[in-house]
Structure 1
Amino acid sequence: MREKLRSIVEDNSTRKGKIFDFTIQFLILISLVAYCIETLPNNPIWLNSLLKSFEVVCIVIFSMEYLIRIWVAKNPLRYIFSFYGIIDLIAILPFYLSRFIDARAVRAFRIFRVFRSLKLIRYNKALRRFNIAARLVKEEVILFLITTSIFIFLASAGIYYFENEAQPEVFSSVPHSAWWAVVTLTTVGYGDVYPVTAGGKIFTFFILLIGVGIVTIPAGLVASALSKAREIEKKEREINNQEKEST
């Protein structure tokens, strides 16, 4: 029984596996649509009742899927603490937690239902490639985030030095100046906070040049990682085909 279920749950090349995958994908998409409809104002009572009943059905199915995946996994603990295992747990956990907390906190847990959309990564080859790419560039991304944090701090401290006296309400401290640093380094430039002194404007010019480089780095990392992920998928596909031919 375990081997049969494993072939259905983990192998989508079979007819039953494809039906299982499409069913779960359909339920994920419909549950997200239902969540959006719930947020509409002035919904009739019957519609809210229907949406709640549908949510219970989805939770039951997703819970069964989660337990089955644990049961059929060759290493259950490895699955539980894997990326997909954590996403599967997040998809159902808020519902059960909301049963044991007061009504005011239920709304806070509802937002976690949007993470259910991440379950779609498992059932789509293109989206699954992002998971492989994320593992490949994990160290580079951490280094990029650390470097970006350092630049944000330097930019916050620098603009505070130039603009504090001219705009004490806007740039009252280094933490308050961090919003300007984030907006400027990401080249968003909302225009709600900007320098007025000559030194602040010159400083902003150099920060903008750095920001252009910071924005382009993630794009390069993702592009190279996706190409490597595609090569890995191709090799895995060739290995699987060879194993099928040998059997």
Structure 2
Amino acid sequence: MTLRNLPFFLWCALCSFFPAICLSQTIKEVRSFQVTEAKQAVAVDEDHFYVINNSTITKHSKRDGRQIAVWDGSKEGIKHLNSGVVIKGKMYCANTNYPEIPMASSIEIFDVNSMQHIGNHSFGIAEHGSLTWIDQKDGFWWSGFAHYAGKEASEGRDVRWTSVVKYDSEWRQLESWVFPQQIVDLFTPKSNSGGAWGKDGQLYCTGHDQPEIYVMRLPKSGFTLEHVRTLPAPVHGQGIAMDHWATGKQIIYGINRAENKVISAEIK
């Protein structure tokens, strides 16, 4: 048996004790779907993926990409949905007023079965910036808040102010971290667009355009996320989602907005 053929849980255990063996980690495309609306992000559950595009969400079959339903929030004032994550039958979407200043953010909640909007959590003028992604791990909420360069900078704050914030189940802030300078440089002039926790306990992050995923982990000390590695990827920035329903594999979904594609890829 080779290292690549090890069961996933053994592979993760080896990586935790011998991180050098994981330096050859790769992301390989499994499948792609042509979807006109693939502009901002994709969310995923057991049987479907959900394409997020500013004020609309379309629901598609994982099997063949067929569109099943659509939600249009343009009449409800939704202008810039950034990403989404499906948890226990509900989809939580990061929503902002980008590119307006001051930055304001909210989480919009949907029932994935009915594709109806069922709830909201508003940050208002968010002290951390513009909410780009959310995820849940170990019973906590994790969120990415973006800052931008140039004319999109808010109150003199540039990309260096981009952060990851940890909340409890009631959205009370517990901790937060910043990105290392080399990742800030890769984000600039945009920012951190996507983030998702992997089965291996590492945080996978994207910028706005580059075909790369930045693997991060929490530091043992200090306030700066640790950059583990940069992985060339078939997804080009924007919002990403982990397929936690993929048995024995680590599958990530993302988009290539230039080609209007939704892409599933395996992290090995």
Length-normalised TM-score, structure 2? 0.18
Q: Which has the higher strand share?
A: 2
**Which structure's CA Rg is the greater one?**
1
TM-score if structure 1 supplies the norm length? 0.19
